[in-house]
């Protein structure tokens, strides 16, 4: 392991909710909940003001409404989140060629590889400047963790939240980790956590005390050994630059449309197997299983399911693909079938134990409904005049605003912009000809130029 805290982990604070607060002045400092608002919707995220009420990601929306009835409830605006994510990632790439994004709002950066930092002091300086640059460019806050390994850098940024920076001095890792709950370690989700607790292990120190043999006995060889190493703060995983391939997929077009349901099912299994082979050949695993079906009339449908953690297990991919096929209507015949895996990783980051059970056939696969953006293809654009809460509109007379709510033939709009003060609400008929959907407005008007990668700093310093 390196001796300087030069691995940086960045994670934006309450990302979707913070974007909404920056865009909508009337929501700043307020409880804001973003997610699916339908009957089966789940919370994508909640502003820190809403977390006080116990609302958190992945909670059913109905439960959130009970906990925080007065919060603002908004539908995600993926387009603007993606745009801001690109701004943030480009700032990170200014620091080092080794940037490993984990999601829209999160990435590891190897500061040593870029020559941007080589010791504690230079690393802290880079982290402080990065946070200031992110604020200047996006108007938002992100938290930074600095440590000598990925695992600890991520734990550090979590500790820094919200709007902070934490640096873990090399040499202090064991003492810091010891009293923390086992769930802090990557690879320990609810299932593994429960399993360990039943064995009397609740803290990371207790993992270390139990010893490697006991961990292997409890969790199996691979998981037991990995967890024991992490409990001792051993983590040698390198920061891996963004992969070219974001997904691995295979598909087949059939000369004659297939009608037979059984045959379609068999084809999907075969494609799943081929896809897993490709995945393994590339040394990858992935979290999201995607099924693609093109029907006789060329209408194409993609459905996806996101697992708790990355997999390269044939049985898991087969099962997920079969589940995805189940509700698809194929009566008119099928022209093309495809199976893919995206959300790629080169290690299993999430709940390893749950994953093992899944592989063993216990159906604990979990869709992450509405949390992820639907796949691009054939998720038909929403009809023009659906007024989703939080989405942007423009009124011929009153200008730009956003939908605060709609129902009973009415839509209420709050007229404000990222640069205005809190605005006023007006109500219109849903088919008011003056009202139309609009593009999101930029959060920051004069985005400052941030210097490219710093000039080589010389290693003698
Ligand atoms: P996170 O970084 O996990 O959470 P966050 O940025 O909202 O809050 P924190 O300050 O704790 O980092 O996720 C980033 C975004 O991803 C989040 O704003 C919304 C989305 N998301 C989902 O859609 N579903 C989920 O279950 C989670 C965890 C996140
Ligand atoms: Mg975040
Ligand atoms: Mg994140």
- Do residues 254 and 346 share a domain? yes
CB 244 within 8 A of CB 341: no
Q: If DSSP codes are grouped into helix, strand and coil, which group holds residue 303?
A: strand
DSSP-assigned letters across all residues of 194-223: HHHHHTT--BHHHHHHHHHHHHHHHH-HHH
Ligand 1 centroid to 326 CA: how many Å?
30
In a domain, 290, yes or no: yes
Domain holding 206: CATH number? 1.10.150.20
In a domain, 216, yes or no: yes
Global pTM reads 0.74
Residue 377 has pLDDT above 90, yes or no: no
Mean pLDDT of 109-118: 95
Q: Which domain holds residue 204?
A: 175-231
Q: Is the CB of 105 under 6 A from ligand 1?
A: yes
Give residue 384's pLDDT: 55
In a domain, 257, yes or no: yes
Residue 385 has pLDDT above 90, yes or no: no
How confident is the model over 391-449, as pLDDT tens digits? 999 999 999 999 999 989 999 999 999 999 999 999 999 999 999 999 999 999 988 88
Ligand nearest to the CA of 60: 1
Q: Is the CB of 56 under 6 A from ligand 1?
A: no
| Residue whose token pair is 């630059």 | 241
Give residue 359's pLDDT: 39
In a domain, 303, yes or no: yes
In a domain, 282, yes or no: yes
Which of 344, 359, 374 delimits the end of a domain? 359
Ligand nearest to the CA of 162: 1
CA distance 148 to 171: 9
How confident is the model over 40-53, as pLDDT tens digits? 788 999 999 999 99
Q: Which atom of ligand 1 is nearest to the CA of 17?
A: 18
Which of 309, 333, 359 delimits the end of a domain? 359
**What is the number of structural domains in the chain?**
2
Which of 231, 258, 278 delimits the end of a domain? 231
In a domain, 271, yes or no: yes
Ligand 1 centroid to 44 CA: how many Å?
6
- Do residues 293 and 349 share a domain? yes
**355 band by pLDDT with thresholds 50, 70 and 90:** very low
Q: Which residues are annotated as catalytic? A: 106
Domain holding 303: CATH number? 3.30.1490.100
Q: Is the CB of 116 under 6 A from ligand 1?
A: no
Residue 329 annotated as binding site: no
DSSP state of 375: P
In a domain, 342, yes or no: yes
The distance from CA 363 to its chain's CA centroid, rounded to whole angstroms, is 23
- Do residues 275 and 337 share a domain? yes
- Do residues 217 and 253 share a domain? no
**454 band by pLDDT with thresholds 50, 70 and 90:** low
CA distance 10 to 205: 27
14: region left, alpha or beta (phi > 0 left; psi from -120 to 50 alpha):
left
CA distance 272 to 278: 10
How high does pLDDT run on average in the chain?
A: 87
- Do residues 274 and 225 share a domain? no
Top pLDDT among 280 and 217 is at 217
How confident is the model over 309-324, as pLDDT tens digits? 788 899 999 999 999 9
- Do residues 223 and 296 share a domain? no
Ligand 3 centroid to 147 CA: how many Å?
18
Ordered strands of the 99-103 beta sheet: 99-103, 106-110, 7-12, 142-147, 165-167
CB 149 within 8 A of CB 169: no
Residue 451 has pLDDT above 70, yes or no: no
CA distance 153 to 6: 9
Q: For residue 202, give the nearest of 212, 213, 188 by alpha carbon.
A: 188
Residue 11 annotated as binding site: yes
Sign of the torsion angle spanned by Cα atoms 276, 279, 281, 284: negative
- Do residues 269 and 350 share a domain? yes
- Do residues 201 and 258 share a domain? no
Ligand 2 centroid to 416 CA: how many Å?
26
- Do residues 217 and 260 share a domain? no
**114 band by pLDDT with thresholds 50, 70 and 90:** confident
Residue 362 has pLDDT above 70, yes or no: no
Q: Is the CB of 371 under 6 A from ligand 1?
A: yes
In a domain, 300, yes or no: yes
Rg (CA), the chain: 24
Top pLDDT among 245 and 212 is at 212
Q: Is the CB of 12 under 6 A from ligand 1?
A: yes
- Do residues 287 and 339 share a domain? yes
Mean pLDDT of 255-281: 93
């Amino acid at each position: 392991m390196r001796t300087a805290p030069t691995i940086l982990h960045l994670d934006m604070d309450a990302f979707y909710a913070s974007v909404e607060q920056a865009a909508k002045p009337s929501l700043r400092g307020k409880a804001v909940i973003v997610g699916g608002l339908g009957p089966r919707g789940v919370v994508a995220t909640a502003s820190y003001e809403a977390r006080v009420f116990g609302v958190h990601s992945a909670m059913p929306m109905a439960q959130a409404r009970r906990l925080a009835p007065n919060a603002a409830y908004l539908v995600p605006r993926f387009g603007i989140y993606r745009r801001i994510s690109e701004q943030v990632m480009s700032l990170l790439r200014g620091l080092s060629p080794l940037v490993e994004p984990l999601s829209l709002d999160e990435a590891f950066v190897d500061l040593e590889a870029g020559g941007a930092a080589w010791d504690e002091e230079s690393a802290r300086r880079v982290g402080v400047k990065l946070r200031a640059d992110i604020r200047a460019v996006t108007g938002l806050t992100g938290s930074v963790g600095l440590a000598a390994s990925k695992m600890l850098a991520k734990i550090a940024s979590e500790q820094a939240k919200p709007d902070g920076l934490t640096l873990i001095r090399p040499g202090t890792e064991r003492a810091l980790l010891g009293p923390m709950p086992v769930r802090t370690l990557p690879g320990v989700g609810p299932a593994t956590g429960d399993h360990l607790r039943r064995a009397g292990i609740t803290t990371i120190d207790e993992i270390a005390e139990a010893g490697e043999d006991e961990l292997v006995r409890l969790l199996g060889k691979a998981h037991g050994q990995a967890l024991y190493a992490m409990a001792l703060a051993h983590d040698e995983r390198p920061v891996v630059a963004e992969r070219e391939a974001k997904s691995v997929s295979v598909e087949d077009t059939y000369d004659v449309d297939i009608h037979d349901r059984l045959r379609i099912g068999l084809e999907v299994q075969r494609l799943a197997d081929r896809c897993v082979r490709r995945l393994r050949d590339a040394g990858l695993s992935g979290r999201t299983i995607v099924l693609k079906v093109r029907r006789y009339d060329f209408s194409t449908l993609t459905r996806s399911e996101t697992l708790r953690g990355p997999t390269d297990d044939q049985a898991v991919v087969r099962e997920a693909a079969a589940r995805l096929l189940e509700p698809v209507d194929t009566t008119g015949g099928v022209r093309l079938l495809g199976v893919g895996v995206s959300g790629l990783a080169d290690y299993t980051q999430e709940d390893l134990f749950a994953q093992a059970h899944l592989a063993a056939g216990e159906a604990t696969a979990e869709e992450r409904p509405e949390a992820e953006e639907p796949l691009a293809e054939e998720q038909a654009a929403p009809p023009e005049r659906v007024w989703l809460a939080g989405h942007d509109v423009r009124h011929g007379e009153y200008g730009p605003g956003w939908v605060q709510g709609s129902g009973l033939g009415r839509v209420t709009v709050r007229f404000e912009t990222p640069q205005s003060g809190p605005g006023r609400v007006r109500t219109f008929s849903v088919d008011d000809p003056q009202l139309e959907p609009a593009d999101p407005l930029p959060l920051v008007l004069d985005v400052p130029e941030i210097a490219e990668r710093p000039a080589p700093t010389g290693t003698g310093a």
